[in-house]
Amino acid sequence: MKLNRVKKAFTLLELVVVIILITTTYYLVFSNTNFSVKNESSNFSLKSLKQYLLSNFKFEKKLDFLCIQKELKCYIRIDDEIKEDFIIENVFEEKPEVYEYNKDMNVIDYRDVNINNISENIVFLFSINSDYKGSEIILDTLDEKVYLFNSIFNEAKIFTSTNEVLNTFDEKQIEVQDAF
């Protein structure tokens, strides 16, 4: 009696499927990839404040980022309505100094704002209008970082002192005068 031996072997297609499955499993288990749905632009920083606001909030007339003196908490105000449930903390370690971006560098004194029916003192306010132009201000965080917010720049320029900002302002002013 003759026994028929049947050779069992993988076909090329089966082999490719097995390799794909092993590779996918290895990638999912051993990779450091973060599969969260959050967008990279959702990371907050003062330097990219304008981009952060524009990519995370929709508005028609005006979008504000404001920080109050009490615990230095920061809020978002969209078209004159504060989102009281959205709070950003630890932006500042101490009350910052804010100046107008011009030759005189006048200190900006903000009006109070009502949050949860309590009048709060604003210590920092960055606004974006309907034309997507941001506030022209200088922010001194008092920890060797001075931010220049200008409607031309998408990101704030960082300096080490307000004198450095003034020197840059003077240089740009001379460049414009020499252009004519």
Per-residue pLDDT tens over the stretch 65-123: 999 999 999 999 999 999 988 999 999 999 999 999 988 889 999 999 988 888 999 99
Report field, pTM of the whole predicted structure over 0.85: no
Contact 92, 67 (CB under 8 A): yes
Quote the pLDDT of residue 68.
95
Q: What are phi and psi of 152, to 5 degrees?
A: -75, -35
Q: Which tokens hold the place of 88?
A: 């950003």
Strand-pair partners of 129:
62
- Polymer length in residues for the chain: 180
Element (H, E) at 124: strand 122-129
DSSP 141: -
Quote the pLDDT of residue 143.
86
Handedness of CA 115, 92, 157, 42 (dihedral sign): negative
